[in-house]
Structure 1
Amino acid sequence: MRRTSGALTFVLGVAVTLALAACGGGSTDSMKAAANNGLEKTKLKVGAIPIPDPAALYIANTKGFFKEEGLTIEPVTIQGGAVAVNSLKSEILDISQTNYVSTFSAVSKGEKLKLIADAYQAGPNTFVLMVPKNSPIQTPADLKGKTIAVNTFNNIGTLAVTATLKVAGLTKDDVTFKEFQFPQMAAALTTGQVDAAWMTEPFITVTQSDLGTRKLVDTMSGQTANFPIAGWMTTEEFAKNNPKTLAAFQRALARGQEIAAKDRKEVEAIVPTYTSIKKETAAVITLGTFPTTLNETRLQRVADLMAEYGILTGKLDVTTLLAPQPAATP
């Protein structure tokens, strides 16, 4: 009986081994995937700009939400725009923060991208045109013939400024745009390289406090009031090849986004950990909102305004860019 039992155990062991081999060749990668709920990839490099917009990513990471999904997240500091798209294409990044204007522009030029989650929406005085304290510029109409700093050409900044100029009876051809990263804009203003700068927080608050700069106009009003600003994107190829990984990322990020949407104190606490914003500044900066759903109607508004101002040459249906949204639990 003992010999029979031992033989049976041996046969069952061989059968299990063969079954495992048939399912995945017994490779290390397959076993790791099985151990992580079938995730195709467990370590992700995620691009983020060091401003308040991506706060939910860092909240979710700090609280262990990604770890609970079997993911390890490595945030990578980026400037945004075309650099983010190229980093995704070259697989330097797996996922990246983006502004919607840059994404829609890239798609119109043939880039294959997917939007996977919302991140940030403008509120009053969250994106403004700043001028030096002694500037003769008093109204947007005074910007004719002037130079304006934006963080990236043909992105949300140029669109918001162009919409603001329209109200003043001007067009984008009446001004000159120059590209500066947000941290460089204060110096560009004070040294006369530009006459005005399109800024977001914390640079609005910091330059007012340190340099006495003043707000010329809130660019997120009228046509751009409560405007969708930033979201999270990846390539079509990554989304297709890593559906379980992407769903796990979306679930963890959504938990962080819910916290950011409901509790400003959580945002204030996390922002100084990944930006140069001091705790005292984080407590007083003006923040927008953190949407908890990827809403096609709101995003279509961005694409339609881009078409109106010639940033897009035709209509773009944003529903074709939205990645599937996962259920709340695996």
Structure 2
Amino acid sequence: MKKVIDNNNKNNNNNKKSSNLLLVVIGIVVILGLIFLVSFMVSEAEEKRDFEDVSISISATSLLPALIHIADSNGYFLEEGVNVEIKGYSAGKFAFQAMLDDEVDIATVSDPNIVVKSFERNDFMTFTTIVNSADHVKVLTRKDTGIVNPADLKGKIVATTKGTTAHFSMITFFVFNSLSLDDVELIDLKPGEMVEAIKSKQVDVIFTWEPNIIKAQRSLGEEANLLPNDYGYSATFNLASKTDLISEHPEVFEKIIRALFKAEKFVKQNKQESIEIVAVAVNGTKQDIEELWANYNFNVVLDHSLLLTLEDEARWYVENNLTDAKEVPNYLDYIHLNTLEKVKPEAIGIIR
């Protein structure tokens, strides 16, 4: 009888131990599950918190934003924790105005537009150059116009897009060749209207940027006549934003810069793939973009030449009474150095 009782006690003890062990296992599983869930939620929250939404306006008809297209296509912005929305405009001046109107966070902008707006306001800064080119804007005419050299432009109908790099290049071309704007009839056209305008003989000459020129050349065939444009102007394309936005979110602009450096490296190491990406982005052919590629220097920098260019252009505006301003602004107030300097100090060439 005692043995039976002892056996029963042993069984009860074993059952209790099994139950306790099961509870411990369940408890451990529950705790581990909770830890995993909390870790996942925290990780997800951190990912969402670190992921920044940024809008960038660009000139959709130009090769100049190539680094932006490549950084976006290759996922470099996302790698840096930035979700970029690219908004295309028919010309850089409209892209820049969209930023000034708070429609986007960052804009691509040429140096002439920085100068023009610097006479009106001081709430924006450029924080990097992304490309420069002395052959971005060109002068195209038809052979039947009889235009062989710049002097032949007198009395002709000339088209450009006012308030853009093309417009400033045209003015520089005229000054360099001792011409006056009064010597021609000037027509303001959108970049996308240039090819048809010169083909249909609505105008005699177009001053516009690539790839519009090469498209017009293809359309005109043997009738196309490209005038020399070696008049000493090299266009820069830059990124600009509101000053307070740069100050309040420096880490976001650092991420943008790092992504662009990745794109710059990719361009140097993968020419053909870069050309393919840009051809799709600007709705051009691979053949056209490849022919133009060598005309562009895709570098993320802030060179001293930018400062000198802005000063020279502003001085020209003042001297020719194209602005009410009587003095040239201090363009160091319009160039933000800290972000680029923090990411890559050697990319800064501006002497302060």
- Calculate the TM-score normalised by the size of structure 1: 0.79
Quote the offset at 1:318 in angstroms. Answer: 2.0
- Calculate the TM-score normalised by the size of structure 2: 0.74
Quote the offset at 1:127 in angstroms. Answer: 1.9
Higher mean displacement: 296-305 or 69-78:
296-305
Residues matched between the structures, number: 292
Q: Which amino acid aligns with 2:214?
A: T
DSSP-derived class of the 1:177 partner: strand
User: In 2, are the aligned partners of 1:156 and 1:229 still within 8 Å (CA)?
Assistant: no
Question: What's 2:277 paired with?
Answer: 270
Equivalents in 1 of 2:287, 2:74: separation in Å?
Answer: 23
Question: What's 2:164 paired with?
Answer: 155
Quote the offset at 1:263 in angstroms. Answer: 4.7
Question: What's 1:16 paired with?
Answer: none
Quote the offset at 1:81 in angstroms. Answer: 4.5
Alignment partner of 1:325 is 2:334? no
Question: What's 1:210 paired with?
Answer: 219
Alignment partner of 1:120 is 2:111? no
Alignment partner of 1:191 is 2:205? no
Alignment partner of 1:130 is 2:130? no
Higher gyration radius (CA): 2
Question: What's 1:109 paired with?
Answer: 120
User: In 2, are the aligned partners of 1:128 and 1:215 still within 8 Å (CA)?
Assistant: no
Equivalents in 1 of 2:121, 2:165: separation in Å?
Answer: 19
Alignment partner of 1:257 is 2:264? yes
DSSP-derived class of the 2:259 partner: helix
User: In 1, are the aligned partners of 2:143 and 2:225 still within 8 Å (CA)?
Assistant: no
User: In 2, are the aligned partners of 1:149 and 1:179 still within 8 Å (CA)?
Assistant: yes
DSSP-derived class of the 1:60 partner: helix
- Flag structure 1 segments of 5+ consecutive residues without an equivalent: 1-27
Q: Which amino acid aligns with 1:271?
A: V
Percent of aligned positions that are identical: 18
Question: What's 2:111 paired with?
Answer: 100
User: In 2, are the aligned partners of 1:148 and 1:178 still within 8 Å (CA)?
Assistant: yes
Quote the offset at 1:117 in angstroms. Answer: 1.6
User: In 2, are the aligned partners of 1:116 and 1:250 still within 8 Å (CA)?
Assistant: no
The verdict on how the C-alpha distance between 1:102 and 1:292 changes in structure 2, with shifts beyond 3 A counting, is: same
Q: Which amino acid aligns with 1:291?
A: N
Q: Which amino acid aligns with 2:285?
A: K
Deviation track 1:64-120 (CA, whole Å, cap 9, x = no partner) reads 221121111111111234422332133321111111101220121125211022122
Match among 303, 308, 322 for residue 295 of structure 1: 303
Question: What's 1:15 paired with?
Answer: none
Question: What's 2:82 paired with?
Answer: 71
The verdict on how the C-alpha distance between 1:103 and 1:266 changes in structure 2, with shifts beyond 3 A counting, is: farther
Q: Which amino acid aligns with 2:154?
A: K
Question: What's 1:53 paired with?
Answer: 64
Alignment partner of 1:62 is 2:73? yes
Equivalents in 2 of 1:294, 1:240: separation in Å?
Answer: 18
Higher RCO (CA-CA < 8 Å; seq separation 6+): 1
Aligned CA-pair RMSD: 2.6
Query: Normalized per residue, which structure has more helix?
Result: 2
Deviation track 1:217-270 (CA, whole Å, cap 9, x = no partner) reads 233x2331xx13211111123212222111211221222133335653243121
The verdict on how the C-alpha distance between 1:120 and 1:177 changes in structure 2, with shifts beyond 3 A counting, is: farther
- Flag structure 2 segments of 5+ consecutive residues without an equivalent: 1-41, 345-352
Quote the offset at 1:53 in angstroms. Answer: 0.8
Equivalents in 2 of 1:305, 1:137: separation in Å?
Answer: 28
DSSP-derived class of the 1:222 partner: coil
Question: What's 1:88 paired with?
Answer: 99
User: In 1, are the aligned partners of 2:275 and 2:286 still within 8 Å (CA)?
Assistant: yes
Q: Which amino acid aligns with 2:107?
A: S
Equivalents in 1 of 2:264, 2:160: separation in Å?
Answer: 27
Question: What's 2:21 paired with?
Answer: none
The verdict on how the C-alpha distance between 1:145 and 1:111 changes in structure 2, with shifts beyond 3 A counting, is: farther
Quote the offset at 1:272 in angstroms. Answer: 1.9
